[in-house]
Amino acid sequence: FRLQHLLVIGVLALSVSISGLIRASPAAHGLDLFEFDPFFNFRATEYMIENGYPEYSNWIDEKTWYPFGRDISENSQVILHLITAVFYKLFGFGMSLYDFTVYFPLVIGSITSIVVFAFVRVLAGTTAGLVSALMFSISMPIFTRGLIGWVKSEPLGLFLGFIAIYLFASGI
């Protein structure tokens, strides 16, 4: 490693740390899911883990959308539930699913700054990539939709979207 590589690693670590600290600020009020949608996404992920994907894909949730229920596989964020379940199986390390889903947006949102760096680096170079990673980590419209306890599609969508455009730009 040269000094330049250590500087890049240091700035990326700073970017991930800043993003994580900002996204963790609601933890001062407790480690809970907040609002309805994150709790529903937890419950749907829990259903998938307990019953498997085939049962999940045929699940009519009768606790929502009274009186007919909700066909989860047709009008829900299936990929969010699937990826959260897979990551929980891989990286859960004995923690409860509830706790995992509380921390999931914080971790995915913070790691996204590294993917942003990689994407911008392909387009404009290392310095621009580092600046964009730092800007991504402090951007209020982005981090407010990926705070701890906010299990929704935005943090995962940004993560997967930046990976997709990084791979596209790298392929060109």
Q: Is the separation of the CB atoms in 132 and 116 below 8 Å?
A: yes
CA distance linking residue 71 with residue 111, whole number of Å:
32
Query: pLDDT per position in the chain (172 positions), as tens?
Result: 799 999 999 999 999 999 999 999 999 999 999 888 999 999 999 999 999 999 999 999 998 888 889 999 999 999 999 999 999 999 999 999 999 999 999 999 999 999 999 999 999 999 999 999 999 999 999 988 899 999 999 999 999 999 999 999 999 8
Residues near 106 by Cβ (< 8 Å), separated by ≥ 6? Answer: 20, 23, 24, 146, 147, 148
pTM above threshold 0.85: yes
Q: How many CA atoms lie within 13 A of 71 on its CB side?
A: 4
Closest CA to 109 of 158, 50, 36: 158
Q: Any idea what the Cα angle at residue 145 is, between residues 148 and 105, rounded to 5°?
A: 35
Tokens of 150: 């906010």
